[in-house]
Amino acid sequence: MPPPSMARAFFDQIRTAADPIAFIRSLVNPTLPTYETDWLDFKRQPSTDLKHAKWRDMWVEALAAFANNQGGVIIWGIDARKDPATNVDAASGEKPVANPAGVKSRLIELQRQATDPPLANVEIDAYEIASAPGTGFVVCLVPEGPFKPYRAEDGRKSQYYIRAGDNFVIMSRSVLQSLFYPRSQVVFRAKADLSWDLNRGCLPNGDHVAAMSCKVELVNRGTATAKDAFILLESNIRSEVEELALRGPPAFWSIGRAGSDNDIQAGFVVCLVPEGPFKPYRAEDGRKSQYYIRAGDNFVIMSRSVLQSLFYPRSQVVFRAKADLSWDLNRGCLPNGDHVAAMSCKVELVNRGTATAKDAFILLESNIRSEVEELALRGPSAPCTQDGRCSFLSPNGV
C-alpha cells in the first residue's frame, strides 16, 4: 500500500468523484484560485503531436522532481498563470488535451526510461469530455520515490530536479549530497484482522463457548532493513456484557468443486511473488546473473545507485505492537427491534530498538469478519441442542 500523502488524497478525490470532469473544471475559479503547490502542477498540452520532444522533456522533469520530493499530481489540460496578488501559479483556464487516451498511453511509454533509477507505481487516469469527444483531461499521480535521488533522462542532458513551491528546479549541490548520503528510513505497515465465532458449543452447565481473535501483522515498507526485529504483542479484552447468543439461521462456509476432473479443460495460473525480506535478489538463469526491479509495466536492470542502497548496511529497529480489543453489544435497539452493537480494536506501536525510526508512520487496515451475520443479547439461560450447539433465537425471542 502506498504511503499517505496530500497528492494521494487529492488524486483519489478526483478518481472517486461522481463527475471527475466537473471536479477538474471546478479547480478553475477566479474567486477562489487553485494554486500550484509542492505536490500539484497544471500543464497545457505542449503539442498535438505526441512524438514531439516537448512531451518527453516536460514529463521526465516532473517525474524526477516529484519523486525527489513528496510526490505530486499533474493535471494535463489546465492552464496556469501567475496570480498578481501572490505571484504564484494558479489554474486560470481550461485547455483540454486532444486524444486523452493517447496521451495516457504515450506517458506510460515514456515513463519506462524517464528517470534513473526507474520510478514505479505511477498512476495515470484519462477523462474524456462527453460534450467534446476526443478531448479531455489526463491526471497523473507521481509517488515519492523510495530510491532518491532520481535523475531526469531526457536523451540530451541529465539533471536532478526537485519540486519547490510551484516550480521544478535543479537541485543544489548540498541537497543532492544529502540525498546521496546513506540513510536509514523505516516505514511500517500494521494490519489488524478481527474475527469471532459465537457458536462454538456449550459447556455442561449450559454456558456458551465463544471465540474471538485479533491478528496483527506488521510489514516493513521502508528502504531500511529491520534486522532481527521482533514484535511484543499485548491484548486487553473487555466487554460490557457477560453473555452472547446467535440470532437468525445458521451460517456455515463450505468450499467445493462441481463436476469431475474431466470437466476441467483450461484455466489460469496466478502467481503471487512476495516482497523479499533480504534484498537485493539476483536472477540466476545459468548463463548470466543480473539484479532486476519492476518499473511500470517492465522489468529493468537495477542502476548502480539502487543496488548500492540495497547493499548498504542498515540500522536495527524493534517495534512493539499492542492491540486492545473491546466491544459493547448493548448499545440499544433500532425501531425495528434490531440490536445496536459496537466493536473496536486499538493498535499501538512503540519503537523499542536502538535505531531512530525517523519520519516513520503507520498504515492501519482492518478486516472484520464473522461466521454469523447478526448478534443479539439473551438472558441468563442458554439452552443447547443435543449436538452441543447453542440454540438460535428468533426475532420474537429477543
Establish if 383 belongs to a structural domain. Answer: yes
Q: Pick the last residue of a domain from 161, 180, 199.
A: 180
380, amino acid identity: P
Same domain, 358 and 245: yes
Q: What residues pair up with 190 in beta bridges, in sequence order?
A: 218, 364
Closest CA to 146 of 167, 170, 118: 118
Domain identity same for 130 and 240: no
Please report which confidence band the pLDDT of residue 52 belongs to, taking 50, 70 and 90 as the band edges: very high
Total number of domains constituting the chain: 2
Whether residue 194 sits in one domain with residue 96: no
Domain for residue 96, yes or no?
yes
Both 141 and 62 in a single domain? yes
Residue at grid coordinates 516482497: 275
- What pLDDT was estimated at residue 2? 54
CA end-to-end span of the chain:
43
Residue tagged 477523462 (cell numbers)? 127
Say yes or no: 169 and 198 in one domain: no
CB half-sphere exposure, 174, CA atoms < 13 A:
0
Closest residue by Cα to residue 123 from 146, 141, 111: 141
Residues 204-234 pLDDT 10s: 887 777 777 777 777 777 667 776 666 666 6
What was the pLDDT predicted at 150? 93
Same domain for 208 and 127: no
The verdict on residue 142 lying in a domain is yes
Taking the CB of residue 135, how many other CB atoms lie within 10 A of it? 17
126-144 pLDDT tens trace: 999 999 999 999 999 999 9
Same domain as 192, residue 97: no
Of 156, 180, 204, the residue that ends a domain is 180
Is 35 contained in some domain? Answer: yes
In angstroms, rounded to a whole number, what is the distance separating the alpha carbons of residues 299 and 293?
6
Q: Residue 382: give the domain boundaries.
A: 188-250+291-397
Q: What percent of the chain has pLDDT over 70?
A: 71
**Neighbouring C-alpha atoms within 13 Å toward the C-beta of 336:** 3
Identify residue 146 by its one-letter amino acid code. Answer: P
What's phi and psi for 305, nearest 5 deg?
-65, -40
The arithmetic mean of pLDDT across residues 4-18, rounded, is 91
Domain membership of residue 265 (yes or no) is no
Q: Is 228 inside any structural domain?
A: yes
Q: The domain spanning residue 169 has which CATH number?
A: 3.30.950.30
Q: Which of 180, 212, 240 is the last residue of a domain?
A: 180
Asked whether residue 316 falls in the same domain as residue 342, the answer is: yes
Return the C-alpha cell found at 253: 462456509
Using CA atoms, how far apart are residues 89 and 374, in angstroms rounded to an integer? 55
Evaluate whether 299 touches 122 at the Cβ level (below 8 Å): no
Contact 221, 189 (CB under 8 A): yes
d(CA 376, CA 374): 7
- Which is more confident, 320 or 79? 79
Closest to 202 in 3D by CA, of 391, 374, 376: 391
Residue 244 shares a structural domain with residue 310? yes
Residue 193, pLDDT above cutoff 70: yes
Angstrom distances, CA of residue 289 to CA of 282, 306, 330: 6, 17, 63
Residue 267 lies in a domain: no
Residues 142 and 31 both lie in one domain: yes
225 with 340, same domain?
A: yes
Q: Please name every residue paired with 304 in a beta bridge, in sequence order, or none if there are none.
A: none
Residue among 94, 107, 105, 93 at smallest CA distance from 135: 94
CA–CA dist 119, 100 (Å, integer): 22
**164 in any annotated domain:** yes
| One domain, residues 64 and 86 | yes
Dihedral sign of CA atoms 45, 46, 51, 53 in order: negative
Report residue 77's pLDDT band, with 50, 70 and 90 as the boundaries.
Answer: very high
